[in-house]
Chain A
Amino acid sequence: MAIGFTRYAKRSLLSICSQSKRELSTHLEQDGKKSLNLCSAINQALHIAMDTDPRSYVFGEDVSFGGVFRCTTGLAERYGKSRVFNTPLCEQGIVGFGIGLAAMGNRAIAEIQFADYIFPAFDQIVNEAAKFRYRSGNQFNCGGLTIRTPYGAVGHGGHYHSQSPEAFFCHVPGIKVVIPRSPREAKGLLLSSIRDPNPVIFFEPKWLYRLAVEEVAEDDYMLPLSEAEVLREGSDITLVGWGAQLSVMEQACNDAEKEGISCELIDLKTLIPWDKETVEASVKKTGRLLVSHEAPVTGGFGAEISASIVERCFLRLEAPVARVCGLDTPFPLVYEPFYVPTKNKILDAIKSTVNY
C-alpha cells in the first residue's frame, strides 16, 4: 500500500500553524531515507531545486522567514535574500513577476499563501502564463514558472482557508495542475513541476502538511507528471481522486473490502493534462467508476473525468458514474463535517454503485 499516512485525525488550522517549532523534526532512517512530513518534503524539494539550479528563485508572501506553513524554512538563510524573498501582498503581482522572471530563462517558484487567495492572479494565470508560449509561436515561454499553493479542508478554515479551486485551472490549456497525496509524492512531483518546461500550479494538501509522514529518499528524484498511479488493485469498482481526499477514499476502500467489495483506487496526481488511459483501463476492468473531490460537485473536475470515461467505456459500465464531492455551497465553517465528502458518503456510493 502506497499511502503511508500515520494519522488521520483532522486538526484545526490554528493548531497546524502553531506547530512551527517542531515541524521540521525528522529522524534518520536506513538507506538514505528519512521519515518526513509533507511540509518537510516540500522544503527538501525546494532546497534541492535551489541547489541544483542557480537560476531558481523562491518568492511570495512571507516566504522569507519560512512561510506561514514553514515550507520555505531555511531557504533565505542558505540561498540569500536575492533568491528567496518576500513580495508585497499582491497575488497578481507575484504571478506576473514570476512570468517575467521565468520568461528570462529562470525557474520562478512562486507561493500563493492559500489557494483561496489565488483569484487576483487568475488573469495572469489564464491570459498570460497559459498563453505565453502559444501566442508567441514558441518564441517565448514561461515554463520555468511553478505556483505552489496550499489547498483544501483543515477542519476550521471556513470560506477562505479551505477551498479546492483546481477545476478553474483545469479549463485552461497551457497550464499543468499537479496535486500530491503524500510526502514522497510531494517531493518528487514538486521537483518535476519546477523542472517541467511548462507553467505548473502545484496544489499542496495543507491538511497533510504535518499529518502525513512517510519515508522520503534524501536524494534528488522526480516523479513523472501526467501519469496516474493505481494505489490499490480491485475488481468491482474504480475510485479516482487526488491529494488529501485519497486518504478518505482509502478508508472507504478498506471498509468496503470488509463487506466483500473489491475497490481499485487511482491517484490522478496531474489533473491536466490527465492520464485518461490508466483510468480507462481500470474502468474497463471493473465496470464502475466513482470520483471524489472536496470541491463542489457542479463543474468540478469529477465531471470531466465522468464525461470522458462514459465516452470511452459506455458499453463496459454497469452503473452510472458516481461523484462524491463537496456540496454546491461556499465552504462553510461550522458545517464542514456536512460539506466534505466523508468516508461513509463514499462507502454508501460504492455500495449503491456496485448494487445498481
Chain B
Amino acid sequence: MALCIRKSPNVIRILKSKIGSLVNASLTNSHSTPFRAEDLRNPDGVLVAQPTLFMNRRYKAEEGFASQRKVDVLNFPGGKVAFTHEMNFISESYEERIPCYRVLDDSGQIIECSNFTEVSEDTARKMYSNMVTLQVMDTIFYDAQRQGRISFYLTTLGEEAINIASAAAVTSDDIIVPQYREPGVLLWRGFTLQQFANQCFSNRHDQCKGRQMPAHYGSKEHNYFTVASTIASQLPHAVGAAYSLKMDGKNACAVAFFGDGGSSEGDFHAALNFAAVMDAPVIFICRNNGWAISTPVSEQFRSDGIAIRGPAYGLRSIRVDGNDALAMYSAVHAARKVAINEHRPILIEALTYRVGHHTTSDDSTKYRPVDEIELWRSKQDPVVRFRKWIESCGWWNEGSESELRNNVRKQVLNAIQVAEKAEKPSFEDALTDVYDVRPSNLVEQEKWLRDTIKRHPQDYPSC
C-alpha cells in the first residue's frame, strides 16, 4: 500500500490533509514497523512495537522524508517542517476519547482476547491480600482519627488496585516517588503495619521522627521517598533519580505518582518535559480519581484527561482502568521494560475514583452526590473485582477471605495499641537533621528551649 501511494503525490497531499500526521509518518517511512496481530495479545509488545512511530515524531529522525514527498519544507532548527497550503487549525480535541485499557470486566472475568501479563497464583494472592490489608488498615486508622487518637488521616479507598498492582509490577530496586495516596506500594515492599501505626501516632519509633502529619511515610530501606503534602513537587525529583539510575547503569527505574489535580501544577510540566528531553527511565502514574478535594476534573482541565498530554511532551502514554488490578499490573510491567531498556519515560493515566473523603478534614458529600460515591464503592470496587477473578481461578475462597480479614484486623488493632503506648520522640529531635550537623544557632536554641521547659513544664508534653 505504501508503494502505491508514494507513486502519486497528489493522493498523498489529499490523504495528508484528511488523515493527519500520525498516518503520514507510517506511510512515508519505508522502515516503519506495522502493528502485528500477535503484538496486540502481548501488552509489552504493544508498547515495544511503537518505537518507529514515535521515532518519526522525533524531529531528528525526519531527515530526508520531505524530499521523498517533494513538498516544500522549512528547514527549522530541530528538524524540517513541511509547508501546506491549507489553513488547518489542529483540533482542540479528537473525535473519540482515548480508550481505557482493561483486562477484567466489572464481574471480574477476563475480557476475551485481552492482552495482559500473566500473574502467578502466589503473586495474585499476595496482591489481593495486600489490597485487603490496605483497606482494613485505612478503615481502622480512619476510625482512630475520628476517635481523636491520631490527628489526621487520609485513605486510599477505591484506589487499592493502582497502589498494589503498580507495586507488584516493579521491583524493589525501582525508586518510588510518591504523592501521598500510595501507601500500598510501601505495604507491598514490606513496611509493616506497626511501622504505619508508628508514623501515624508520631511516636519515637517513627523513622521520620514524628515531624510530619500522619500518612506522610518514607522509608529509605524500601526505596520510597518521603511524602510531602505539596502537590506534584515530587515529580521533577523522579526525573533526577531516574537519570541517576540510567547513568549508573542500574536495572531500575523511578516510579512517580500524582493525581489529576497535580497535572495542573507547573512541576508536572517541568517533570514530563525534562524526562522526555533527558531520556530518563521514569514511569509517571497519574491516579485520575475524578476529584482534587472538591474540584472535579471538569473544572481542572479541558483536555481529554492526562494521557493525551504525553505525546505533546514526547512521552509514550496509556490510559488504564485503575480499578482493574490486572490491567494496571500489565501496563506498569510493560512500561517498566520500555523505561529501562529504551531509556524512555512513560505516562500512565489510571482512571479510578476517590471513594473516601480527601482527608479526615474533608466531607466530600458537601460537593459531590452520595449516589456517585455509592456507585463506585459498590459497583466499581477494585478489590471485589480482583477477588472475583482469583476466586474464578480457584486461588481464593470464602474461608481464606474471612481468615485474612480477621488476621489483618487483629494485626492493625494491635499495631495501633502498641503505637499509642509508645513514647513520643525526645524534644531534641525537633532540632536535629535540619543540617547534617547542628549549627550554633540551633545549639543555642536547644539550650533556651531546655531552660524554658524547666521553668514551664506544664506547657509541654512530657517528652
Contacts and interface: CB of A to CB of B under 8 A. Distances in A.
Interface of A: 82-83, 85, 87-88, 90, 92-93, 95-106, 108, 120, 123-124, 127-128, 131-141, 143, 173-174, 176, 197-198, 226, 273, 276-277
Contacts of B220: 136, 139-140
Contacts of A138: 209, 432-433
B9 interface: no
A200 to B, nearest CB: 11
Given A99-B236, A99-B237, A100-B239, A133 B208 contact: no
B436 interface: yes
Interface in B201-238: 206-209, 211-212, 216, 218-220, 225-226, 228, 230, 233-238
Given A88-B273, A133-B436, A139-B208, A98 B240 contact: yes
Contacts of B219: 139
Interface string B243-254: 111011000001
14 contacts: A92-B270, A95-B236, A96-B236, A101-B243, A104-B175, A104-B241, A104-B248, A124-B236, A136-B225, A137-B218, A138-B433, A140-B220, A143-B436, A276-B441
Contacts of B434: 133-134, 173-174
Contacts of A106: 244
B240 A96 contact: yes
Contacts of A173: 434
A198 B230 contact: no
Contacts of B267: 92-93, 96, 123-124
Contacts of B212: 135
Nearest to B220: A139
Interface string B418-435: 000000000000001111
A273 B434 CA distance: 11
Contacts of B271: 93, 96
A124 B269 CA distance: 14
Nearest to A89: B273
B440 A136 contact: no
A123 B230 contact: yes
Contacts of B226: 132, 135-136, 139-140
A136 B243 CA distance: 22
B384 to A, nearest CB: 36
B240 A136 contact: no
A131 B208 CA distance: 12
B236 A135 contact: no
B266 interface: yes
A137 B206 contact: yes
Interface residues of B, number: 49
A101 B228 contact: no
Contacts of A88: 270, 273-274, 277
B328 to A, nearest CB: 24
A40 to B, nearest CB: 28
Given A100-B177, A128-B228, A276-B441, 13 more contacts: A83-B247, A92-B267, A93-B271, A96-B239, A97-B270, A100-B238, A100-B242, A104-B244, A124-B267, A133-B434, A137-B211, A273-B439, A277-B440
Contacts of B206: 137
B270 A90 contact: yes
B436 A135 contact: no
Interface string B153-186: 0000000000000000000000101000000000
A97 B218 contact: no
A103 B433 contact: no
Contacts of A103: 225, 237, 240-241
**Ranked 9 nearest A-B pairs via Cβ:** A100-B240, A96-B236, A93-B270, A273-B439, A100-B237, A104-B244, A101-B240, A139-B220, A136-B226
Contacts of B278: 85, 97
Contacts of A140: 218, 220, 225-226
Nearest to B246: A82
Contacts of B228: 127-128, 131, 135
**Of listed B216, B228, B247, residue having the most chain A CB within 10 A:** B247
